[in-house]
């Protein structure tokens, strides 16, 4: 491959970490790379919640425009930021090996706990807000948006006592010393795709390039897990502003997914589990979503969409 692979990414430190991580993996297989930084709508609008901006393509639309025009070959995204259905003309060709998937509580106060009365937690996630209302109704939440460094700065300035974030971003940015608790997966099932980096391209990208990129970057077990989770999300038609959760695990040739939906008030949770052969990962995810919808998830989803 003579020309370098052009990697499109958002400009935050975490997004650039992901882009360089991908570049290093491609370089290790003899593929030259070039990183191209692109600002998205989600990066520009920081005073409004994601739900109010609109959940589709908030962090991806401008990058996909560059893919379509051929200015970049691939786009690197946090898998949890990817909408459940890509716009026509695009595909995901790799998922990198998944980091620990837990949500974490972040604070300068090492003795802080979710059991503390009058605790104020900053988060921009409707899922995290709803789960906190369900499990820790005494906790007050405030919307804190921006990149990781901006959120931590807002916390230090007194906007909140703690933040709730993904372990992966904190670890990758070297902020592990601010993690005061890893929240258990029994209570806090993460967003679909949390902990993995997704590689997107235009359908027109040359097949030899696609094959070389997939070979260098795709982690097959992670891909099976995320294909299952994303099929679940797609069937539910849940964007990143809907409080939906889902996590798949692989054991030899079997895959098991636990997922569900919670209403915005945190008063009603529907949570189901399904398992089967790994080769049926997408069907298993889709079937789980149908089960959740049938159990009342359709009513919760309609209510959420009427309020966002």
**Residue 279 belongs to domain with CATH number:** 3.30.160.40
Q: Are residues 24 and 110 in the same domain?
A: no
Instruction: State the pLDDT at residue 146.
Output: 87
**Upper half-sphere CA count for residue 208 (Cβ side, 13 Å):** 4
Grade residue 210 by pLDDT with cuts at 50, 70 and 90: very high
Considering the entire predicted model, what is its pTM?
A: 0.91
Chain-wide mean pLDDT for the chain? 92
Average the pLDDT over each of 98-107, 167-176, 213-222, 235-244 and give the range with the smallest value. 235-244
Question: Within a domain: residue 189?
Answer: no
Positions marked active-site: 81
**Digit-coded pLDDT (tens) for 256-269:** 999 999 999 999 99
Is residue 239 over pLDDT 80? Answer: no
Is residue 97 over pLDDT 60? Answer: yes
Grade residue 59 by pLDDT with cuts at 50, 70 and 90: low
Question: Within a domain: residue 66?
Answer: yes
Question: Within a domain: residue 190?
Answer: no
Is residue 143 over pLDDT 70? Answer: yes
Q: What is the CATH number of the domain that holds 155?
A: 3.40.190.10
Is residue 58 over pLDDT 80? Answer: no
Q: Are residues 256 and 167 in the same domain?
A: no
For 23, the domain range is 1-97+196-218
- State the Cα–Cα distance between residues 273 and 260, nearest whole angstrom: 9
Is residue 175 over pLDDT 70? Answer: yes
């Amino acid at each position: 491959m003579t020309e370098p692979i052009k990697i499109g990414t958002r400009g935050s430190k975490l997004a650039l970490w992901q882009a360089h991580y991908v570049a290093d993996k491609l370089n290790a297989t003899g593929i030259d790379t070039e990183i191209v930084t692109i600002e998205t709508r989600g990066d520009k609008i920081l005073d409004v919640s994601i739900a109010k901006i609109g959940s589709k393509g908030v962090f991806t639309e401008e990058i996909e425009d560059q893919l379509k025009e051929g200015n970049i070959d691939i786009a690197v995204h946090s898998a949890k930021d990817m909408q459940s259905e890509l716009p026509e003309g695009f595909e995901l060709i790799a998922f990198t090996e998944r980091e620990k998937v837990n949500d974490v509580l972040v604070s300068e106060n090492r003795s802080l706990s979710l059991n503390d009365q009058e605790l104020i937690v900053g988060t921009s996630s409707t899922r995290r807000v709803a789960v906190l209302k369900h499990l820790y109704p005494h906790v007050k939440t405030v919307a804190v948006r921006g990149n990781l460094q901006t959120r931590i700065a807002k916390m230090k300035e007194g906007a909140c006592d703690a933040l709730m974030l993904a372990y992966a971003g904190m670890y990758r940015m070297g902020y592990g010393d601010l993690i005061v608790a890893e929240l258990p997966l029994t209570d806090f099932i993460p967003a679909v795709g949390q902990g993995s980096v997704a590689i997107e391209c235009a359908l027109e990208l040359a097949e030899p390039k696609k094959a070389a990129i997939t070979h260098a970057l795709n982690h097959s077990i992670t891909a099976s897990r995320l294909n299952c989770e994303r099929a679940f999300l797609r069937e539910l038609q849940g964007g990143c502003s809907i409080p939906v959760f889902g996590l798949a695990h692989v054991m030899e040739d079997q895959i098991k997914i636990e997922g569900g939906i919670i209403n915005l008030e945190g008063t009603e949770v529907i949570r189901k589990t399904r398992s089967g052969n790994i080769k049926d990962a997408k069907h298993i995810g889709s079937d789980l979503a149908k089960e959740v919808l049938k159990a009342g998830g359709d009513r919760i989803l309609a209510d959420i969409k009427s309020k966002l």
